[in-house]
Amino acid sequence: MNPENFKLIVNGQGTLSREGTLRIGSYNALLRSSLPENLRYHKSEEETYEPSHNAFRTAFPQGFAWEVIKAYSRPPVICYKFRHWGYFEGPFKGHALTREVVEFYGIGVMKVCPKERTQSSY
C-alpha cells in the first residue's frame, strides 16, 4: 500500500486518508453510514477508536473475517464483491449475543499502481 495515495471511501461518506482511517479506527471507518439515526446500531461519528474496537472484539471474539467472493476486473482498477462476517458471541451495546453468523456483502473498487500496491479503495 502506498500510504501517501491511500484513500478510503465508504457508503458515499467522504474520503479518509490512511491517517484518518487509523485515527478513528477501522470499524468506525467501515461503518460510516447515511442511514437515518433511528436505524443505526453503531454511530461511528460518535465513537472513538478504542471503545469501538473493544465493543467489536467483545461481540465478535473470533474476529470479523473479510473475503473477496468475486473479482470483476483486473488491475489497475479492480472491482470486486466481498463478504464480511463473524459469529455474534458477545454482547453489543445492549444487544444479547445470539451465536448467529452476522454477515454483509458489498462491492468494492481498488486502484493499484503498476507495482500492484494498493493505492486507494472505495
Q: Is 52 exposed, middle or buried (0-12, 13-18, 19+ CB in 10 A)?
A: buried
Q: 17, 11 in Cβ contact below 8 A?
A: no
Q: 77, 109 in Cβ contact below 8 A?
A: yes
Rounded Cα distance, 16 and 23, in Å: 10
Rounded Cα distance, 62 and 47, in Å: 22
**What pLDDT does residue 69 have?**
96
Question: Tens place of pLDDT for every residue, the chain, 122 residues?
Answer: 677 888 888 888 889 999 998 888 888 888 888 889 888 878 888 888 898 889 999 999 999 999 999 999 998 899 999 999 999 999 988 899 999 999 989 898 888 877 655 555 66
Domains of the chain: 7-121 (3.10.450)
